[in-house]
Structure 1
Amino acid sequence: MVRVLVYLGIILLGFFISPFLAGNKGYLYLAVGDYQVETSIVFAVIALVIFYSLLQLAEFVIVWVLNLILGSRLLPEKWRKKAARKHTLMGALALAEEDWAAAEKAMVKGADKGEIPALNLLAAARAAQHQNNIAARDEYLAKAELEPLATKAVSTTRTRYLLQQGELALAREELDKLNPTSKSKAPVIKLAVDLYKAQQDWQALKLILPIASKKQIMADDIFKKLTFETNIALLKNAASTNEQELEKCWHWLSRSERKQAEYIAEYAIGLNRYNQKEQSIKLLQKQLKTSPSKAIFEALSQVLTPSDVEAKKQLLALEANFEDNVDYQVCLAKLYHQNHDYHNAKIWWQKACYLQDDISNLHALADVQEHQGELNRALQTRRNAAKL
């Protein structure tokens, strides 16, 4: 644009000064070596403009010829890149349609000359995973891992696929390379939670759950349920190991958690296992007075034995308070049942079944009736259980 304006300015300038030069053409003398040139100034200016124009035209022709030669030499490469973009697009559409075979084929074709080969290979690996083509999937992931920026993404993807495949040990090895911490991305933390749960590695799960909660990768109800499952499993494992582990696990719980009935019940059962029955019973009875629950009654039925007469009396004294509590009735029924006192066991099983129809309670009542020779009633009770 500037060049055109310059040309236009020169032409206009020529129009303006041409009348003055018509009467006085001037004289120009050039001597170069043995060559001499004599001409007017007007002709010299015109010749200079023509020479410059020819020079510009020659430049344009040379550049055009060079571009034509280079373009023809690189044309196949352009075609390949264009084809790669087309294959990538077709692969993405096939992924959206969940046509895994077509998606894998298209993404692999688009990876050779694609702009981001690692992306194509990860997509192809996903399609191969859905087809359960493990060998091809691993091959694509290995090729994608050659891209330094894609290393973590490939490792995360490989961990997820191994977990889905059921190869928990291999998935754990891959996850350990990622080293899940509070600085890790949410997908890595989510993978860690799923893998630790699948492996029942409750210690690791206990440590990763607060991070998962902070990053909000699961709903609150799911987090609470998983935390409860983890704590119960830790208490059971510790109780089966030794008393020191039990105490360590108990104090690992938060203050609010140590007030929950389910954890208290599990801890009391563990204490009873290590000959601390008196402390176990006191702990359960204290909880029974403040906030009785099903877990406490179940723990009492496991801790108390026929020799614990005083504790049984205290439990029976609470009948007026828990006459409508089915868990209380079941607890006493179990205590009499394990003492082979089938008469009293039948009474409490009947009370429990009257308050709530439950298959296990009805079968327990039928067992007691059979021990007392009431075969017809036992048969009817089992029929009632079958209806449930």
Structure 2
Amino acid sequence: MKSIMLFILLFLLAVAISPMLIGEKGYILIAMGNITIESTVVTAAVLLFFSMIALFIVLRVISGSVSFSFSTWRKFSLASKRKAKRNFRKSVAAYILGDYKTAETLSVKSAEPIDNQDIAYLIAADSAQKQENKANTLHYLQYLESSENTKHHIESALVRLNTLMALQEYKKARELLDEYHRHIGHESRLLALEISLSLAELRFDHAIEYLVRARKDKNIGEDEVCQWERVAFTGQFNLIIREKSNDALHNYWQDLPRKVKQRETVISCYAHVLAENNIQQGLSKVLLPLIKPGTNAELLKTLRDLPLTKADDLIANVQKIVQKQPENGVWLSYLGHVAGQTKDWDMASKAFHSLAQLEHYQMDKQDYVMYSKALIAQNKIQEANDILVKALA
């Protein structure tokens, strides 16, 4: 810039000095239509020089003011972003501490100025849901649904799915989950949500199909799979009885893979459904093979509360084991419960009395409750009260 100004200045000096060197004033004549401007070269050069200086000063002033305005705007803009980030951090802290009202308010305030709008609205949506504010929750979810930033993010979809299921908006949850269905094969969390949603939709057979995948997935715990399995098979067994027949249930059971029928959770579910529907013949076929030494104690505990009406063969087989293993607390407990369910109060009270004498076995609350029922049925009120006190201790 300086070199250009210097060149122009030298050019003007040359124009001004040239007439002097040849002894002439050097006139300039400018004609524009009917207007004619006449001036000497020196005067024109001086005017042009001062005009350029004035232009340079004006440009400097304008440049400074623009620079000042941009700096001021940038300062206020960054201040707004800094405040938004502070609010966002506060909203996260409030969410972790369980102050969901504050978390919702601050996350919404900080959403627009910061770059992580999707995270802010996800926090707002979940906070609103935890306050049972369905309208606000759906509003935030609708924004996330329309946002290009979150459309293809699995993590965002997972949070939205959980929130929709908590709101029991199963239809919307299904529509969203179907968009990500291709990821279920390699995303454990989506697989878990597929099973949970299928159970909520009462599509038990669909959930059972996906349980096969869940059992092979190392990221899903055994306890969670067993819980789903219990709900799925209990629902499916009851659905078959309600919509079809007892024979249809028997055929369904027979068609199940052998490994499935050997699972304790499935056996327990089937036995409970049979007992609740008073299908005694089928129940005996399920229970009698289990009455043998070595049967899992936890499985027997799940079968203690079966609503039995008649169990002569079952009791006879259990008694044979107890005679051989009189100090086996697991079988004494099971004998007491089966006898109690069939209202053989004398046998039940004797079994629990023997159980109470064992030092190595700790009776649980369910044992105490059934023992007290047997004593009350025999009009032994005081003894029953003493047992109930132990149950409540």
Asked if these proteins are the same fold (TM beyond 0.5), I'd say yes
TM-score normalized by structure 2? Answer: 0.60
Give the direction of change, closer, same or farther, for the CA distance of 1:337–1:69 in structure 2 (3 Å limit).
closer
- For the aligned residue pairs, the C-alpha RMSD in angstroms reads 5.1
Per-residue CA distance 1:226-255 (angstroms, 9 max, x = gap): 354345534653564334245436644x53
Per-residue CA distance 1:7-56 (angstroms, 9 max, x = gap): xxxxxxxxxxxxxxxxxxxxxxxxxxxxxxxxxxxxxxxxxxxxxxxxxx
Partner of 2:176: 177
SS of 2:322's equivalent in the other structure is: coil
SS of 1:328's equivalent in the other structure is: helix
TM-score normalized by structure 1? Answer: 0.60
Partner of 1:150: 150
Partner of 2:162: 160
Q: For structure 2, which runs of at least 5 residues remain unmatched after alignment?
A: 2-52
Deviates more, 1:347-356 or 1:98-107: 98-107
Q: For structure 1, which runs of at least 5 residues remain unmatched after alignment?
A: 4-56
Give 1:259 shift: 1.9
Letter in 2 for 1:364: M
Q: Residues of 2 paired with 1:120 and 1:368: CA distance?
A: 59
Give the direction of change, closer, same or farther, for the CA distance of 1:246–1:230 in structure 2 (3 Å limit).
farther
Give 1:350 shift: 1.8
SS of 2:181's equivalent in the other structure is: coil
Partner of 1:229: 230
Q: Which of 287, 290, 307 in structure 2 is aligned with 1:284?
A: 287
Partner of 1:352: 355
Partner of 1:206: 208
Contact 1:369-1:375 within 8 A present in 2 as well: yes
Q: Residues of 2 paired with 1:209 and 1:73: CA distance?
A: 64
1:1-388 → structure 2 map (5 Å cutoff): 78=74, 81-98=77-94, 108=108, 111-112=111-112, 118=118, 121-122=121-122, 125=125, 135-151=135-151, 156-163=158-165, 166-168=166-168, 170-179=169-178, 181=181, 183-184=183-184, 185=187, 187-192=189-194, 202-209=204-211, 216-218=218-220, 220-230=221-231, 232-234=233-235, 236-238=237-239, 240-241=241-242, 242=245, 243-245=247-249, 247-248=251-252, 251-252=255-256, 254-268=257-271, 270=273, 277-278=280-281, 280-289=283-292, 291-294=294-297, 295=299, 298=303, 305=310, 308=312, 312-334=315-337, 336-337=339-340, 341-355=344-358, 356-386=362-392, 388=393
Per-residue CA distance 1:287-338 (angstroms, 9 max, x = gap): 32374245458479755726x4x66544433333342333433444455556
Per-residue CA distance 1:107-130 (angstroms, 9 max, x = gap): 555555655655554455556566
Contact 1:85-1:114 within 8 A present in 2 as well: yes
Give 1:183 shift: 0.9
Give the direction of change, closer, same or farther, for the CA distance of 1:320–1:63 in structure 2 (3 Å limit).
farther
Identical amino acids, percent of aligned pairs: 16
Contact 2:91-2:106 within 8 A present in 1 as well: no
Q: Residues of 2 paired with 1:301 and 1:341: CA distance?
A: 15
